[in-house]
Amino acid sequence: MVMATAEQIKMLIQSHFDKDDDRFKTVVLQLAAYESKKGHTSLAREIRSIIDKSKSSGKVIHLNKDFGDMIASSISENRLSELVVEDDIKARVERILKEFRQQDKLKKHGMNNRRKILLAGPPGTGKTMTASILAGELHLPLCTIMVDKLVTKFMGETSAKLRQIFETIAETQAVYLFDEFDAIGSERSMDSDVGEMRRVLNSFLQFIEQDQSLSLIVAATNNLRLIDQALFRRFDDVLHYRLPKESEIEKLIKNRLSGFIDSKLELKEVVKKCIFLSHAEIARACDDAIKEAILNDKETVDKKLLYLMIAERNSVYQRGE
Ligand SMILES: Nc1ncnc2c1ncn2[C@@H]1O[C@H](COP(=O)(O)OP(=O)(O)OP(=O)(O)O)[C@@H](O)[C@H]1O
Ligand SMILES: [Mg+2]
């Protein structure tokens, strides 16, 4: 039986690289059966439930192999409750979900749900995470297109590749995230090859305008100033992400430390130390503090430890000052 699992692991790896999902699932189910025979019933149940969930999340997206690591398709488990943002942004995300869920109602009156969304803001403020939450909440697959890689790899034929992507968008309903989107929209990147970037931008504008699919199209950028103005009106909504305010910092720390938070921990001063940090950096400082606590056999994170990890994050920005 031990050999059987070694074989199964090899088969899992092989089927992953062959992109053979059916075979992959068969092996996973065999593994579940094997674990359940060994008496590991809850593990077996968990494994089966992962498979069931991925089934209900719809189809896996098949894209041309040329795209390699420029496009990744995944299933998201992210939920809106994880997102810590200002109320106005949260309300906008909720509205996208609500309109999507009730699109039939809107269509009866000749209206469409908002489905072309631009997310802009500094690094680490939750743009990529939001795309993943939209997919998770709507039980749609998430397909991420790394625009910067696409543009560099396919110089000269980017427009043709974009066309292929928009064909897939029309065929397979999913959340499509155009990440690092400024690689297309920026005026700066046009210095390199003005003609080519102009063409790519124009074809993107045309494709996004023509798109009438059932998919959600999300573009994310942290370089809004560089985005061509003509782009804005092609989107149904533009969400501006910001660095967290004090109340959000506090919420983020509480969420992130969850079980490791010391009830006596006074967060007011800690929060002040995070004022220039992004959500991602604060989350990382919390995770680092948790790890340190675990390694030192402590049950909670104390103030000193948290300060230390935050100072470490802050130090990244103090170079040359
Ligand atoms: N608003 C937020 N609420 C809760 N967690 C967040 C938030 N923003 C970021 N995080 C945490 O930081 C991680 C990285 O954030 P994310 O990748 O969404 O940032 P981003 O805005 O896409 O940054 P970039 O512009 O660099 O791509 C997330 O996976 C999450 O753990
Ligand atoms: Mg991102």
Cβ(253) to ligand 1 under 6 A?
Answer: no
125 lines ligand 1 (CB under 6 A): yes
Q: Whose CA is nearest to atom 16 of ligand 1?
A: 126
Give the up-direction half-sphere exposure of residue 127: CA atoms within 13 A in the CB hemisphere: 28
Residue found under tokens 């810590």: 84
With a 6 A CB cut-off, is 124 part of the ligand 1 pocket?
Answer: yes
Return the H-helix or E-strand segment holding 28: helix 21-37
State which ligand 1 atom lies nearest to the alpha carbon of 255. 4
Separation in Å, CA 272 to CA 137, 268, 283? 33, 7, 15
Return the DSSP state at 93. H
CA-nearest residue for atom 29, ligand 1, is 129
**The pLDDT of residue 29:** 84
pLDDT at 320: 42
Which residues, 6 or more positions from 150, have their beta carbon under 8 angstroms from its beta carbon? 67, 70, 158, 161, 162, 183
Taking the centre of ligand 1 as the mean of its atom positions, its distance from the CA of residue 169, in whole angstroms, is: 25
Closest CA to ligand 1's atom 27: 123
- Which helix H or strand E contains 231, and what residues bound it? helix 229-232
Where the chain has pLDDT below 70, the residues are 1-4, 53-66, 185-194, 225-228, 318-321
Beta strands at 142-146 and 175-179: parallel, antiparallel or unpaired: parallel
Ligand 1 close to Cβ of residue 129 (< 6 A): yes
Q: Whose CA is nearest to atom 8 of ligand 1?
A: 126
Token pair of 41 as six digits: 């019933």
Which run of H or of E encompasses 177? strand 175-179
204, 227 contact by CB (below 8 A) = no
Note the pLDDT tens digit of each residue in 278-304: 999 999 999 999 999 999 999 999 888
* Closest-approaching ligand to the CA atom of 127: 1
Dump pLDDT digits (tens) for 7-17.
888 988 998 88
Q: What is the CA(314)–ligand 2 centre distance, in A?
A: 20
pLDDT digit string, tens, across residues 209-242: 999 999 999 999 987 766 667 778 889 999 999 9
For residue 222, report the distance from its CA to the centre of ligand 2, in Å.
8
The domains of the chain, with CATH numbers, are 2-56 (no CATH), 65-240 (3.40.50.300), 246-315 (1.10.8.60)
Residues 255-279 as b or e (16 or more Cβ within 10 Å = b): ebbeebbbeebebeebbebbeebbb
Task: Please tell me if the CB atom of residue 279 comes closer than 6 angstroms to any atom of ligand 1.
Answer: yes
Smallest-distance ligand from the CA of 178: 2
* CA of residue 259 to ligand 1 center, whole Å: 21
